[in-house]
Amino acid sequence: MIEAHDLTKRFGSKTAVAGIDFRVEPGRVTGFLGPNGAGKSTTMRMIAGLDRPSAGSVTVNGRPYRQHTAPLREVGILLDAKAVHTGRSAYKHLLAMAATHGIGRKRVREVIELAGLESVANKRVGGFSLGMGQRLGIAAALLGDPATVILDEPVNGLDPEGVRWVRTLVRGLAAEGRTVLLSSHLMSEMAQTADHLIVLGRGRVVADASVDEVIARASGTSVRVRTPNLAGLNRAIAGPDVSVSTLDDGAAVVTGLSSEQIGDAAASAGIAIHELTALSSSLEDAYLSLTADEVEYRSTSVAPTPEEVAR
């Protein structure tokens, strides 16, 4: 369980995290989303006691991180795959980390095996690929068999097999009743892995809800309709909140009405319907619409949009 109350971090005149409140509950995977500069990493660093909050507080399993007598048993953290001395072997790195808590070689070998690092365990970390670094970081996070696991961009640089490994691992950890906080920019991956989402934008929480809720809230209902009599259907369903746009292949997309309402209206007007499909938007669409106003560093499109061309 992670709880933040009025958590604030200012760097000089810039406010990175602006008094946020949230709870990360055990037994499920909580996704931590937000554009670059939204305050995710700063928040994670404050959870881990690396940065001190300017105001407010954050606790892990009921206490500020620094007050735990066995921090590695409480929280496993992957903040940065490269938080390892490049001149040391993976095995010695894990052994040194484990030694602080009196955790022995057996457990070290166990996490090395778990992360699939057996063949490179005695090699110096400086020569590791990004993916190997991620695996080492995850192995280190799991050393103390912690009740809470925090992973910042764990799939960054992993191959498809590794991505699936992280997904299975993270789901398994949550199923065991652990608290899991996971950040990623890969929305498709997040949609498959997370149960719950906390979305940050410019240091504030812009959404704190289940994945389904976030998607549903962000997208208006839209329905794809195929009919030989589009003009008739247009008249039958016309209303103040209803809009109809035509696609290239002759189908139309109706927003503002459910598929039931459209089907009923067509039936009473005697209009044939060939297709009626409710369109749900992806998490990516939902995320982009949620954070559209919150993006700190926006890339502007150089190519003109189709509308501009039409003008």
Binder to another protein among 24, 138, 140, 265 (CB under 8 A)?
A: 140
Q: Considering the rule CB under 8 A, would residue 68 count as an interface residue with another protein?
A: yes
Cβ proximity to another protein: between 28 and 204 the closer is: 28
Candidates 169-177, 206-214, 231-239, 283-291 — which segment interacts with another protein by CB under 8 A?
169-177
Residues near 113 by beta carbon (within 8 Å), at least 6 away in sequence: none
Q: Applying CB under 8 A, which of residues 65, 128, 165, 287 lies at the interface with another protein? A: 65
Q: Which of 92, 167, 171, 224 binds another protein (CB under 8 A)?
A: 92
Please state the closest distance from residue 308 (CB atom) to another protein, in A: 45
Q: Would you count residue 171 as binding another protein (CB under 8 A)?
A: no
User: Checking DSSP bridges between strand 243-246 and strand 252-255, what pairing results, if any?
Assistant: antiparallel
> For another protein, which residue of 82, 123, 164, 224 counts as binding (CB under 8 A)?
82
Binding to another protein (CB under 8 A) within 245-274 occurs at: none
Work out whether 130 is an interface residue with another protein (CB under 8 A): no
Contact flags string 1-30 toward another protein, x per CB under 8 A: -------------------------xx---
Q: Which is nearer to another protein, 179 or 291 (CB)?
A: 179
135 in contact with another protein (CB under 8 A): no
Residue 221 gets which letter from DSSP? -
The tokens for 179 are: 């608290």
56: left (phi over 0), alpha (psi -120 to 50) or beta: left
CB count in 10 Å sphere of residue 254: 23
Instruction: Please report, as residue ranges, which positions from 284 to 303 form the binding site for another protein (by CB under 8 A).
Output: none
Residue carrying the six token digits 């892995």? 193
Choosing from 4, 17, 58, 79, the residue that interacts with another protein (CB under 8 A) is: 79
DSSP conformation class of 66? G
Give the one residue of 100, 129, 168, 282 binding another protein; rule: CB under 8 A.
100
- Residue 24: other Cβ atoms inside 10 A: 23
Given candidates 34, 35, 39, 71, which one binds another protein under the rule CB under 8 A?
71
Q: Is 145 in the site for another protein (CB under 8 A)?
A: yes
Buried b (16+ CB within 10 A) or exposed e, 149-165: bbbbbbbbbbeeebbeb
Residue position matching structure tokens 């809009």:
243
What are the residues whose beta carbons fall under 8 Å from the beta carbon of 19, sequence distance 6 or more? 6, 7, 8, 55, 56, 204
Shortest reach from residue 75's CB to another protein, in Å: 8
The Cα–Cα gap between 235 and 186 comes to 42
- Please name which of 97, 44, 61 lies closest in space to residue 178, comparing C-alpha atoms: 61
End-to-end CA distance of the chain: 54
Of the residues 10, 73, 185, 224, which one makes contact with another protein according to CB under 8 A: 73
Task: Give the tokens for residue 221.
Answer: 């209902």
**Contacts to another protein by CB under 8 A:** 26-27, 45, 48-52, 65-66, 68-73, 75, 77, 79-80, 82-89, 92-93, 95-97, 99-104, 106-107, 110, 140, 144-145, 175-178
